[in-house]
Structure 1
Amino acid sequence: MSGNIQRIREAAAFIPADDRDTWLRIGMGIKSELGDTGFDLWNEWSQQADSYNTHDARDVWKSIRAGGKVTIGTLFHEAKANGWRDDGISRERTLEELAEERRVAEVRAAQEEAEVACQRATTATKALAIWKAATEAKGDHSYLLRKHVSPTATLREIEADEAATILGYPPKSSGEQLAGRLLVVPVKQGDRLSTLELIDGDGRKAALPGHGTKAGGYWASEPLPDGDGDGLTLLIGEGVATVLSSKKASGHLAIAALSAGNLPAVAKAMRERHPEAVIVILADLVKATGAPDPHAIEAARFVGGKLAIPDFGADRPEGATDFNDMAQQCGTKAVERAMASARAPAGAPRQTGATDAPAGDCGGNDWPEPQPLAVKVEAEPYPTDALPDAIRAAVEEVASFVKAPLPMVASSALAALSLATQAHADAKRLEKLHGPVGLFLLIVADSGERKSTCDGFFTKIISDYEEAQAEAAKPLLKDHKAAIEAWEAKRGGIKDQIRQLAKTNKPTRGMEAALRDLEHEKPEPPRIPRLLYADATPEALAYGLAKQWPSGGVVSAEAGIVFGSHGMGKDSVMRNLGLLNQLWDGKSLTIDRRTSESFTVRGARLTAALQVQEPTLREFFSRSGALARGTGFLARFLVAWPESTQGIRQINPDAPDGPVAWPHLAAFHRRIAAILEQPVPIDDDGALTPPMLPLSPEAKAAWVDYHNAIESELSSGGELYDVRDVASKSADNAARLAAQFQSFDGKGGEIGACAFEGASRIAAWHLNEARRFFSELALPAELADAARLDTWLTAHCKREGTPAVSKNRVRQHGPLRDRARLDAALQELCALDRVRIRKDGKKIAVSLNPALMGIAS
């Protein structure tokens, strides 16, 4: 048993504990294996996370049911995915040793990746050298003559000896050395030459070595055109001779995948490059059975393409399998007819082992029109062009490196802007309508979306400003400490005198008056700017704004201040929601305390930029009931619910460490620093008194139009009726953001029409996001799950260029990890003819209705 415990400890050391879902699943696996005795092991591993909390760990462990569905195999699987190697030997190792093993594994993986990249670069360099040395391919090449095809401009030839000199070794195929004139076939991945296929006169073939240089690579009979492929037909087959024969018969551009297994990947790449093109997959026949190759069927299904199958009639010659063989046996006209007869592969023979969908699955081949999902609001692209140029450039620069969802990156930039500007201006919308410019921003996203990273890029200048101000204030703090000690000594002396007088029954009025006077002379601490609060209760935040600095913000990737804190329990939620509402409004508020000092917040300004996971937000709604929306709390937020980028955040091997310089981010920082260095208008009571920025006449007219357009949709039956609480604050948020844009540009004076136009577009985008999120939040759980799954499947299939995705991948990367909820959502989508479940042996795939991808069924 002890050996198994040590093996679990070693494996766990390779798994990061920062992601809460992973943290919980590892706990489930350990408890299923070790029972309650496993707590110490899990707790020890948990402590590597920055967010570790002893009480939270104990509470969560108690809630985990022993013998659940998550087993210890989950832990070992996660560990292997993170570099752990199970050598079957377990011995006592320290945490330091385990950390070193993990580091070594990471270094080894990085080295292997670097070696592969080096191999690919070397192969591409040699391929280019051979291509440049090669000459135009001639029609008398033995291979072309034997295949009865003519060369195209994208083929060349070179003598085998010359190729060997460039390569440093003779090219070989299956141990046999290639000889004579070699046909040079350039293999591209995207638009980049990755390798070559060399073919000699006897038909022997060799590709230049290099890991992964041929995967997804293709040869095209002519240069690929630009555009989306509208009106274009692409033929995709296995070999050079096959596609040349097909091109000759049909006149269409033809592409060779150069192996059967490569067909799906090449088809996918062509679908992404030319989404409107008609794709025809040229199947080879399996020699033994005469059935179309399964890879060709898969490729056609993968991209919603057609399948063309060679037809040799009843007596197929022995060894005849492809369209080149058919051209030679039956003639070009027969190939042309086969091309014209290409159809979607639904009725084609299926792969060996494939079975029809069992009863209860939604199978079938003909797709009806998909039925609409109730109240589904489509996502809109984030309007980056609405941002001021300097902010837009910084956002795009950071997004290109971090690869987080663009709305999240933009929200991080707006949070920094709000923190810097809110102390220096208020916005005046109309004569009696004016107030703060601080923003409340809410990102609804899973853990791991890199919000903390994004925040760090944009708020670093604010952190630097805080540190500089704290350093400069050290002498003032020392002076204050000395003044306080002197004051306390005086106070102590007076109190001693009062006690002495009282003991002898002498009058104390004079000393009491002196004590009262002294209380009014108590030295006030110097106000030192503190702008960033990572996590605090609403009351602690209010105290900091009242006593330390009247402008601040909560920038948190965990949103603990609001949605998960003890301060949002049933007994205190109403009070704390009201407190945060008043801080957003800039109103004064008094906090009465029984056991410590009461205080009043006056003229404070607050920014909030929070990320919350959807389950946490749903739980918050269930705890607070209708209060969160009934009090107008969530209505104040600019909500974003972006699509996750996890799983597609590939690192560019040419620039793994990011840009050498960040010119646009540096320019953003300089402007924020300049705003922060401006004198802050604070009165004697510590309240902010920022100047008012009015809307220019043009901006005011635009604001009135924006307000009225929204107002007209708030009544029953209106487009915004279900989110009328959020919509009613949208015009206010647009004016706030416009004032910030005006301040950032340094123009001062009135808020211009240009600033308001950009701000109103961003506010409108967030309003649409609120509609998306809150309309689904109001749905029954099963319908909300179906809507979320539908959105993810559609986006995934469009992005990957595939009409189907394995159910395992849906569960691992989609929005629903719970098996029962996923199955219920899939059945709902099946009933609406939006997806189908297909089984192929033990594999289960989810097929998307082609109409949802813009493809006719």
Structure 2
Amino acid sequence: MSAVLEKATFSKEAYKEAAGRLFHNEREQGYKPVGLHLYRLPTGPILYARVRMHKPAAEGVYEKLIRPFFHDGIEWKRGEPKQDNGKLLYGLADVQNLPQALVIVGEGEQKADELTKIGAGRLAGVTSGSASSASHADWSPLAGRHVLLWPDFDEPGSKYVDAIAAKLQVLGCALQRVDVAALDLPHKGDVMDWAERFRAAHDRTPTADDVLALPMTKAVPLDPPIGDPAEIDVWPAPQLLSAMTAPLDYPIESLPPRLRAAVEEVHRFVQAPLALVASTAVAALSLAIQAHVDVKRAERLTGPVGLFMLTIADSGERKSTCDTFFTRAIRDYEAEQAVDGKFVIDNYQADLAAWEANYNGVKEKIKSTAKAGKQSTTDLREELRDLEHDKPVQPKVPRLVYADVTPEALAFSLYKQWPSGGVVSAEAGIVFGSHGMGADSVMRNLATLNQLWDGNSLTIDRRTSDSYTVRGARLTVALQVQAATLRSFFDRSGALARGTGFLARFLIAWPQSTQGYRLFKDAPDDWPHLDAFNQRIADILRLPIPTDEGGNLVPVMLPLSPEAKDAWTKFHDEVEVSLRTGGELCDVRDVASKSADNAARLAALFHMFSGDTGPIAVDALENASSIAAWHLSESKRFFSELAVPEDVVHAGRLDAWLIEHCSATGAPSVSRRDAQRLGPVRKREPLAEALQVLEDLGRLRVEQMGKQITVNPALLEGVAL
């Protein structure tokens, strides 16, 4: 056990509060907490806990869910802490405090608590957990004690106490066993059933004497001895894969109703990860709205509303399809403007050709006159100056969407063609893997993108052509990149990507893949919510963009209402406090420092998309803060795992998939072929490396000549197999 865990002690109330936060999603699914079981060290401090939840399935029937969680010294996490010497027994503190008590071992924490309560100091209920947990628990603290084994009245219950008897026998324990067959219990009947029947029959609570009066058999010596390795399947305690953190559900309820309806409609058909679908839609809002409004967070704290969004996912997750749905109005607008602008561009080119002819003619006259030396060139030079002032200005025709573009080319287009645009790519390797992000130019190009996110003026100095300054431009970035490509980018750029604040500006999503679960669906005949979404985007795009005399954007400033300002301040301060050393966000300070800014940007986008007027309302700000906080949790998850070796990252994703798959199928095993075909690690070598990592941690076994993968039963507790 680590020193960090030994020092990180929390009260029962703290565990209750943590359970409420960690298992919020389960409560949303209809599960209600009915018990909290605290695993205490012999000296009393809590090492970890297991929350018991029930969900009504039918009258008198419920689904059971039991999940462990702990505090690692920094934050609360699902799972059990690493325990080097085997799993801690539940009820061990009672055993320590009651040295003369009879130890009764049963299956499950609820029964151990009941027996300790009944015993009133004479009995100490103990358990290792479920029927599959006996082999990986540390039973040594019971050495030499008098132990009564109370199995559930079924085959798994019998095998459970058989396995325990084998371990306690070598520890010198005096063993007896309740003869459950003589208790007239129903099949699967247990301690709780016996106690309930006793109360009904005797109109009182049973006591320790009633327990001791039960029919018993002597558990040892046994002939032949229990514990033949060939008959008892002994698993090690699974070690915690601590580098991996489970993702939170995307808070879709925080999106504006019209946006949420469109996202859900597309998600139902495309079946891409929900966070990917939602991020694509939000990026479309950013691209359409950013030219029209800025947001004022506080006095002297103003800025653009354009977002940088990054979805980390494999190819084939259907981001391109989602882009097509949500940017339809934007691309239609571009096409319309290109057609309408063709006549204007043709006229401009004709005017420019005529101007160049006049300009060059005057230059030739100056040259010949100066050469002859017979008259002054003053009038000709004045004519040339006048022509310079009359040079035709290239009309700006909207171009909003870019894919394969370098930051320098993007800046020039924002300066020359249209002051608002977006880099939208389903294969962001084009961006992160391009020569524009090479080692020689990465610092300059990251700074360019940072300046555009900030909305600052940007001066581009050139050696072979005119320098220029981009003023008032607005930029959205919406990319999908594979984790391997992003790792390679970090390898090339070193610490610059984070040190310059480049990735800190992104709202990151790292959703779990839906590939392998997207069964065919016919496209719906109508898309009412998506059509409404695109109609609203089209209406916004047709609004004239606000510009100054020089053609630079001057978006309308949207302030926060007083209530929204209070909510924004609260969100900002909560994040700020978490940046302290040892705080929940101290390892992602760069990203967290931009989170409140992104929340204000999202609020402004939600405000305008919804057609609201006046200052930004508190509801928009609170919903935006919920979205920003979710992206912040994704950033923390990604950056904490970025430093982890790739084989361990693959192992974490495979581990989560295996547990989910076995839970869904009700089988403890899956073929290696199906794991490769359906799971998150599709290539042979990375799969082999991930399996080796998980096998070394005792989380699975690769059996049948490498063809079958069996998950450690301890990881499937609470799942009916």
Q: TM-score, normalised by structure 1?
A: 0.57
Quick check: 1:532 aligned with 2:365?
no
SS of residue paired to 1:836: strand
Answer yes or no: is 1:230 the counterpart of 2:63: yes
Pick one of 427, 450, 465 that aligns with 1:581: 450
Which residue does 1:502 correspond to in 2?
370
Residues 849 and 525 of structure 1, relative CA distance in 2, 3 Å threshold: farther
- The one-letter code matched in structure 2 to 1:660 is D
List per-residue Cα deviations over 1:381-420 (Å, max 9, x = no partner). Answer: 1111000000000000000001111111101110111011
Following superposition, the deviation at residue 786 of structure 1 comes to: 2.6
Q: 2:709 aligns with which of 845, 854, 857?
A: 845
For 1:606 and 1:338, the matched residues in 2 are separated by 69
Tell me which amino acid in the other structure corresponds to 2:547: I
Aligned partners of 1:523, 1:487: CA distance in 2, in Å? 8
Distance 2:60 2:593 in 1: 43
Asked if residue 457 in structure 1 is aligned to residue 325 in structure 2, the reply is: yes
Whole-Å Cα distance in 2 between the matches of residues 629 and 853 of structure 1? 40
- Which residue does 2:517 correspond to in 1? 648
2:271 is aligned, of 403, 406, 411, to 403
SS in 1 for 2:324: helix
Indicate the residue corresponding to 1:40 in structure 2: none
AA aligned opposite 2:606: F
**Matched residue, 1:481:** 349
Deviation, 1:495, is 1.6
Which of 726, 746, 761 does residue 626 from structure 2 map onto? 761
What code does the residue aligned with 1:583 have? L
Name the CA distance, whole Å, in 1 between partners of 2:607 and 2:639. Answer: 31
In structure 2, what is the equivalent of residue 431 of structure 1? 299
Aligned-pair CA distance for 1:748: 2.1
Decide whether the 8 Å contact of 1:798 with 1:853 is kept in 2: no
Determine which of 742, 747, 750 is the counterpart of 2:615.
750
Alignment partners' CA distance in 2, 1:228 and 1:735: 47
Partner of 1:668: 533
**Residue number in structure 1 paired with 2:460:** 591
The match for 1:726 is 591
2:334 counterpart residue number: 466
Q: Partners of 2:341 and 2:60 in 1: how far apart?
A: 61
Alpha carbons 1:793, 1:848 under 8 Å: kept: no
In the superposition, relative to structure 1, how do residues 307 and 461 fare at CA in structure 2: closer, same or farther (>3 Å)? farther
Q: Supply the distance in 1 between the matched residues of 2:340 and 2:235 (Cα, whole angstroms).
A: 71
Q: Note if 1:797 corresponds to 2:666.
A: no
1:474 deviation in Å?
2.4
Residue 799 (structure 1) shift: 4.2
Deviations 1:541-581 (A, max 9, x none): 11111111111101110114530111000000000000000
Provide the secondary structure at the position in 2 that maps to 1:646: coil
**Amino acid in structure 2 at the alignment position of 1:626:** A
CA contact (8 A) 2:262 2:533 kept: yes
Q: Give matches, 1:358-373, under 5 Å.
A: 365-367=233-235, 369-373=237-241
Q: Tell me which residue corresponds to 1:827.
A: 692
Gaps of 5+ in 2: 1-56, 66-153, 157-180, 191-230
Q: CA deviation at 1:424?
A: 0.9
1:786 aligns with 2:654: no
Give 3-state SS (helix, strand or coil) of 2:280's partner: helix
CA distance in 2, matches of 1:846, 1:587: 56
> 1:190-238, CA deviations, whole angstroms, 9 ceiling, x for partnerless residues?
xxxxxxxxxxxxxxxxxxxxxxxxxxxxxxxxxx948984379xxxxxx
Deviation at 1:718, TM superposition (A): 1.2
Structure 1 unaligned blocks of 5 or more: 1-223, 233-305, 309-332, 343-362
Match of 1:251 in 2: none
Alignment check: 8 A CA contact 2:669 2:708 kept: no
**In structure 2, distance between residues paired with 1:574 and 1:482:** 41
Residue 558 of structure 1 pairs with residue 427 of structure 2:
yes
The verdict on how the C-alpha distance between 1:491 and 1:854 changes in structure 2, with shifts beyond 3 A counting, is farther
Q: Distance in 2 between matches of 1:440 and 1:401?
A: 26
Residues 407 and 848 of structure 1, relative CA distance in 2, 3 Å threshold = farther
Whether the 8 Å CA contact 1:807–1:844 is kept in 2: the answer is yes
Question: Using CA pairs below 8 Å that are at least 6 residues apart, which structure has the higher relative contact order?
Answer: 2
CA contact (8 A) 2:317 2:513 kept: yes
The corresponding residue for 1:806 is 671
Match for 1:629: what amino acid?
R
Identity of aligned residues (%): 59
Q: Aligned pair in 2 of structure 1 residues 228, 572: CA closer, same or farther (>3 Å)?
A: farther
- Letter paired with 2:586: Y
Secondary structure of the 1:562 match is helix
| Contact 2:286 2:305 survives alignment (8 Å) | yes
Deviation at 1:599, TM superposition (A): 1.9
Deviation at 1:478, TM superposition (A): 2.4
Using a 3 Å threshold, how does the CA distance of structure 1 residues 468 and 648 change in structure 2: closer, same or farther? same
Q: Measure, in 2, the Cα distance between the counterparts of 1:750 and 1:852.
A: 51
Write the distance in 2 (CA, Å) between the matches of 1:675 and 1:622.
41
Larger displacement relative to structure 2 (578-587 or 775-784): 775-784
**Is residue 2:433 matched to residue 1:569?**
no
Distance (Å, rounded) in 2 between the aligned partners of 1:228 and 1:774:
43
Query: Counterpart of 1:822 in 2: which secondary structure?
Result: helix
* Alignment-derived partner of residue 719 in structure 2: 855
Cα distance change, pair 671–364 in 1 and its aligned pair in 2 (3 A): farther
Is the contact made by 2:235 and 2:712 (CA closer than 8 Å) also made in structure 1? Answer: no
Is the 8 Å Cα contact of residues 776 and 787 (structure 1) preserved in structure 2? no
User: In structure 2, the residue corresponding to 1:230 is in which secondary structure?
Assistant: strand
* In 1, Cα distance between equivalents of 2:650 and 2:595: 28
Matched-pair contact (CA < 8 Å) for 2:271–2:518: yes
Q: Distance in 2 between matches of 1:670 and 1:764?
A: 29
Residues 583, 606 of structure 1: 8 Å contact kept: yes
1:78-110 deviation digits (Å, cap 9, x = unpaired): xxxxxxxxxxxxxxxxxxxxxxxxxxxxxxxxx
Given that residues 720 and 771 in structure 1 are in contact (C-alpha distance below 8 angstroms), is that contact kept between their aligned partners in structure 2?
A: yes
Q: Matched residues in 1 for 2:389 and 2:586: separation?
A: 54
Indicate the residue corresponding to 2:281 in structure 1.
413
Say whether the 8 Å CA contact 2:424–2:479 is kept in structure 1: yes
Matched positions, count: 513
Shift of 1:847: 2.0
SS of equivalent to 1:649 = coil
Q: Is the 8 A contact 1:698 1:753 kept in 2?
A: yes
Residues 845/498 of structure 1: CA separation in 2 closer, same or farther (3 Å cut): same
**Counterpart of 1:554 in structure 2: which amino acid?**
V
Q: Give yes or no for contact 1:438–1:736 (8 Å, CA) kept in 2.
A: yes
- Aligned equivalents of 2:477 and 2:64: distance in 1? 50
Larger CA deviation: 814-823 vs 404-413 = 814-823
- 2:64–2:718 Cα contact (<8 Å) kept: no
Return closer, same or farther for 1:557/1:502 CA change in 2, 3 Å cut-off.
Answer: same
Q: Which amino acid aligns with 1:548?
A: Q
Q: Is the 8 A contact 2:699 2:712 kept in 1?
A: yes
Cα-to-partner distance string for 1:440-469 (whole Å, 9 max, x where unaligned): 010000000000000000000111111112
Cα distance in 2 for residues equivalent to 1:704 and 1:393:
30
Contact 2:663–2:719 (CA under 8 A) maintained in structure 1? no
Q: Aligned equivalents of 1:562 and 1:797: distance in 2?
A: 38
d(CA) in 2 for partners of 1:621 and 1:573? Answer: 11
Q: Which amino acid aligns with 1:686?
A: G
CA deviation vs aligned residue, 1:640-673 (integer Å, no higher than 9, x gap): 0001111110014xxx2x1111011111111111
Amino acid in the other structure paired with 1:463 = R
C-alpha displacement of 1:801: 4.2
Pick closer, same or farther for the CA change 1:428–1:849 going to 2, 3 Å: farther
The CA distance in 2 between the partners of 1:800 and 1:638, in whole Å, is 35
For 1:707 and 1:842, how far apart are their aligned partners in 2? Answer: 52
Q: Distance in 2 between matches of 1:856 and 1:799?
A: 10
